[in-house]
Structure 1
Amino acid sequence: MHAWLFATLGGVLVGLAAVLLMGSLGRVAGISGIAAGLVSGVSPGDRAWRVSFLLGLVAAPVALWWWPGTRVGVPQVGWPWMLAAGLLVGVGTRLGRGCTSGHGVCGVARLSPRSMVATVVFMLTAMATVFVVRHIIGGLPA
């Protein structure tokens, strides 16, 4: 299967999940908020949908990993780089008061000015990071 098809299906599923979560529970599908709410000790009824949502996030790429002909889930860098990236993303979501899914998918769809600004900042930062890593540093070691 072609990479563009997986990307398209993934985008459709992300949008569908966001709409279903907002329509059924009135909640924004912001992953950092979902995870933070789970860790901070929420009620059992609130815990169930959060765990289900996060398990779905893990189950989809694991299922694709076993799909013939795909390379989904194969790390491109070593564990130290992935750990550093994860920590930076965590710090960024706290500073930005939300993540790309909460701001970029849900907030922009709701025409939230704060989310539109946050999404522009996310995108510009990502572009600058890719430029620096690829063209100035010369890539990341494995």
Structure 2
Amino acid sequence: MSTTFTPLASLFGGVLIGTAVVLTLFVLGRLAGVSGITQRTLAGPEAGETAAAWSWRPAFLLGLVAGGALVAWLAPSAVPASPSGLSTAAVLVAGLLVGWGTAQAQGCTSGHGICGLARLAPRSLVATPVFMLAGAATVWVLRHGLGVW
């Protein structure tokens, strides 16, 4: 599997993520940690929270999905069907493992790596390097140990 260096697309994506994080913080007063938003969406409104105050969470998640769908529709070549070459079942298992990992870490890469590091949160200063090392180790094992790619 080869990769292509795309600095402009990467920069644009980073600017979009940063803009979303800043807007979520300044407009809603909330952090844009996707795993926390997902968890709180599935749990429903908290005690004393109105449905209107809660509704930004599912709207945020819908925007993530709609944004991906829009890119896939406008530029299908930008979204390969299976970039990893793995089966659908393997991708689903991987997704479940990522969800379990974010629950264990009490946050995901967006919550810790973007929002937490920007706030110099001690937990994020530990969690983010652990995420990165675990990801690098997983890629190494899959590519070199198991020869998956």
- TM-score scaled by length of structure 1: 0.90
Q: Identify which of 25, 28, 38 aligns with 1:25.
A: 28
> Is residue 2:92 matched to residue 1:89?
no
| CA deviation after TM superposition for structure 1 residue 8, in Å | 1.6
Q: Percent sequence identity over matched residues?
A: 48
Q: Identify which of 37, 55, 58 aligns with 1:51.
A: 58
* Deviation sequence 1:76-129 (CA, Å, 0-9, x none): 322111110111011101100101100000000111111011000000000000
Q: Any unmatched runs of 5+ in structure 2? A: none
Q: Identify which of 77, 83, 92 aligns with 1:70.
A: 77
Equivalent residue, structure 1, for 2:122: 113
Deviation larger for 105-114 or 58-67: 58-67
| CA deviation after TM superposition for structure 1 residue 73, in Å | 4.9
Equivalent residue, structure 1, for 2:14: 11
Distance 2:19 2:59 in 1: 15
Equivalent residue, structure 1, for 2:40: 37
In the comparison of the two structures, how many residue pairs are matched? Answer: 139
| CA deviation after TM superposition for structure 1 residue 25, in Å | 1.3
* Deviation sequence 1:31-76 (CA, Å, 0-9, x none): 0110111111113123321121111111122111123462315223
> Which amino acid is 1:97 matched to?
Q
Q: Contact 1:108/1:115 (CA < 8 Å) preserved in 2? A: yes
> Which amino acid is 1:80 matched to?
A
SS in 2 for 1:66: helix
Distance 1:123 1:107 in 2: 15
